[in-house]
Amino acid sequence: MSIIRLPGLVDAHVHLREPGYEYKEDFASGTMAALAGGVTMVLDMPNTNPPTSTPERLADKARRAAAKAVCDVGLFVGATNTEGDAYLPVAERACGLKIYVSDTFGSLRIDTLELMHRLFRSWAEKAAQVGYRMDGAARGVGPITVHAEELMLPVCLALSHLYRVPLHIAHVSRRSEIELIRAAKERGVFVTCEATPHHLFLSTDDLPRLGARGDMRPRLATPDDVAALWEHLEAIDIFATDHAPHTLAEKGVGVNELPAAPPPGVPGLETMLPLLLTAVHDGLLDLDDIVTRCVDNPRRVYGLPAQPDTWIEVDVDSVYELTNADLKTKAGWTPFAGQRVHGRVERVVLRGETVYAQGEVLAMQGRGRVLFQGE
Ligand code: DOR
Ligand code: ZN
């Protein structure tokens, strides 16, 4: 047994599904899964039902999270075709603005360049009044985070450049995309990006084995795309899970009648750290690469507060197989089931209190804080 101590991880991209899809996940089950994965802060996406697109809905979501979360939670607002930038009055209470311009789950996809101009312009105007958030301050707004694949990526880079808005690219998966982002960074464009464990450790070669368990957006990419992410690791600011729980029945696994439109997405909160530590064991990463991308950079990109007296203890000698049965997510499955990994989260301490130990969540619901809600 060899225990190391790391800071609590930040997962800057999760879908905790509340309100509207609580049977897939809720703030209690999702944040319990986070602690089990060594994650003490999550940033929750707005594609719930209803979506987090207005001040009232953000306030409602914050109340729900405050009552149930066992780790800290930041909340994104989202732009919609129908409500546009209705979130603007409470932009400072969100960790950032999420805009979807590519195929996704839910109703948040933006269809027109005209609306995209408006969304970037109004965010820039808000930032001109309140600034961009630094170091967890109450004041200021976060970046615009986009789900922008393929040809939509240069569209977002151009808008970010035009309106001088910091842009974060969610879940980069292709060689063409990471090469473009890297070139943009080298020319001084204010852009950051993230990659998920499933895009780093799985490819189209795994699809025959995984079937619907390997379906997400962006889709799994080719082995050459995966190789490109590793080649350009320096350009990847953040590792984030895109934890996107759906039930196996919804994905058409183990049911007689295949669903017409199985929802894309895979759970990831509980498997990210063991997979990354296995990459350290295999010599692909070092521990600093993990801390930089799962703690320091998410804080810098989103201006998140530090979590004092907060750490995780990991047994890096523990070798075991990931299983569905051990998971706390309501979805109850992982595309990595059966994989041997190195590194087990033994204990999680949040603000001085042991909130997780030896497989059990010890925190009371409501122990987590919701970021940026004022008071
Ligand atoms: O695979 C995905 N699942 N990609 C998305 O863009 C959305 C997410 C979800 O919410 O299920
Ligand atoms: Zn997502």
Give the amino acid at 129: Q
Ligand 1 centroid vs 364 CA: distance in angstroms?
29
Task: For ligand 1, say whether the CB of 263 is within 6 Å of any of its atoms.
Answer: yes
Q: How far is the CA of 166 from the centre of ligand 2 (A)?
A: 19
Going from the Cα of 2 to the center of ligand 2, the distance in angstroms, rounded, reads 34
| CA pair distance 361, 354, nearest whole angstrom | 9
Q: Looking at the predicted structure, is the pLDDT value of residue 95 above 90?
A: yes
Q: Hey, whose CA ends up nearest to atom 2 of ligand 1?
A: 265
The two structure tokens encoding residue 54: 């207005």
Q: Is the CB of 15 under 6 A from ligand 1?
A: yes
pLDDT above 90 for 67: yes
Domain range for 247 is 3-361
Question: Is 90 exceeded by the pLDDT of residue 16?
Answer: yes
Residue 258, pLDDT score: 81
* pLDDT on residue 204: 98
Look at strands 9-14 and 39-44 and give their pairing: parallel
Report the nearest atom of ligand 1 relative to the CA of 263.
11
Instruction: Note whether residue 269 is domain-resident.
Output: yes
pLDDT score of 324 more than 70: yes
Q: Which residue's structure tokens are 């894309």? A: 264
* Among 174-188, 249-263, 280-294, the least confident range: 249-263
Spatial neighbors of 133 by CB under 8 A, at least 6 apart, are 92, 139, 140, 141, 142, 302, 303, 372
Q: How many residues does the chain have?
A: 375
CATH code of the domain covering residue 187: 3.20.20.140
Distance from residue 103's CA to the centre of ligand 1 (Å): 9
The reply to whether 317 falls in a domain is: yes
| Mean pLDDT, residues 92-98 taken together | 98
**What's the N-to-C CA distance of the chain in angstroms?**
44
Closest-lying ligand to the alpha carbon of 213? 1
| Nearest ligand to residue 240 Cα | 2
176/166 Cα distance (integer angstroms): 21
CA of 44 to the centre of ligand 1 (A): 12
The rounded distance, in Å, linking the Cα atoms of 126 and 92 is 9
Ligand nearest to the CA of 216: 1
Omega before residue 218 within 30° of 0, cis: yes
Q: State which H helix or E strand residue 12 sits in.
A: strand 9-14
> Distance from the CA of 38 to the center of ligand 2, in angstroms?
20
Is 368 inside any structural domain? no
366 assigned to some structural domain:
no
Q: Is the CB of 264 under 6 A from ligand 1?
A: yes
Starting from the CA of residue 251, give the closest ligand: 1
Residues 35 and 349: beta-carbon distance below 8 Å:
no
Q: Which residue has the tokens 């980069």?
A: 172
What is the Cα–Cα distance from 107 to 227, expressed in whole angstroms? 32
CA of 198 to the centre of ligand 1 (A): 13
Ligand 1, pocket-test mutation among 15, 42, 147, most atoms within 8 A of CB: 15
Judge whether residue 190 has pLDDT over 70.
yes
374 lies in some domain: no
Within a domain: residue 127? yes
Q: Quick one: which of 329, 248, 265, 326 has its CA closest to 29?
A: 329
Q: What is the pLDDT of residue 259?
A: 84
The ligand with the least distance to the CA atom of 242 is 2
pLDDT at 73 over 80: yes
Residue 67 is assigned to a structural domain of this protein: yes
Check if 170 has its Cβ closer than 6 Å to any atom of ligand 1: no
Of residues 20, 350, 340, 306, the one with CA closest to residue 135:
306
pLDDT at 105 over 90: no
Backbone angles phi and psi of 110, in degrees to 5: -90, 135
**So what's the pLDDT on residue 1?**
86
Q: What is the pLDDT of residue 257?
A: 83
If you write DSSP's letter for every residue of 234-258 in order, what string do you get?
GG--EE---B----TTTTTTT-SSP
pLDDT in tens, 328-351: 999 999 999 999 999 999 999 999
**What is the percentage of the chain residues whose pLDDT exceeds 70?**
100
Give one DSSP letter per residue of 157-215, joined into a string: HHHHHHHT--EEE-S---HHHHHHHHHHHHTT--EEEEE-HHHHH--GGGHHHHGGGG-
> Is residue 171 assigned to a domain?
yes
Contact between 100 and 110 (Cβ < 8 Å): yes
Domain count, the chain: 1
251 lines ligand 1 (CB under 6 A): no
Q: Which residue puts its alpha carbon closest to atom 4 of ligand 1?
A: 217
DSSP structure class, residue 292: I
Contact 165, 120 (CB under 8 A): yes
pLDDT at 26: 98
What angle in degrees, to the nearest 10, is found between the helix axes of 55-68 and 27-36? Answer: 60
Q: For the chain, what is the mean pLDDT?
A: 97
Q: Does the C-beta of 217 come closer than 6 Å to ligand 1?
A: yes
Task: Give me ligand 2 centre to Cα 161, in Å.
Answer: 24
Q: What is the pLDDT averaged over residues 278-297?
A: 98
Cα(264)–Cα(249) distance, integer angstroms = 13
CA distance 96 to 143: 5
Tell me the CA–centroid distance for residue 193 and ligand 2, in Å. Answer: 13
Look up tokens 């060689």; give the residue: 175
What pairs with residue 16 in β-bridges? none
Residue pair 233/227 in contact (Cβ under 8 Å)? The answer is: no
Report pLDDT digits (tens) over 233-246. Answer: 999 999 999 999 99
pLDDT value for 375: 62
Contact yes or no for 68/31 (Cβ under 8 A)? yes
Which residues fall inside 5 Å of ion ligand 2, going by CB?
242
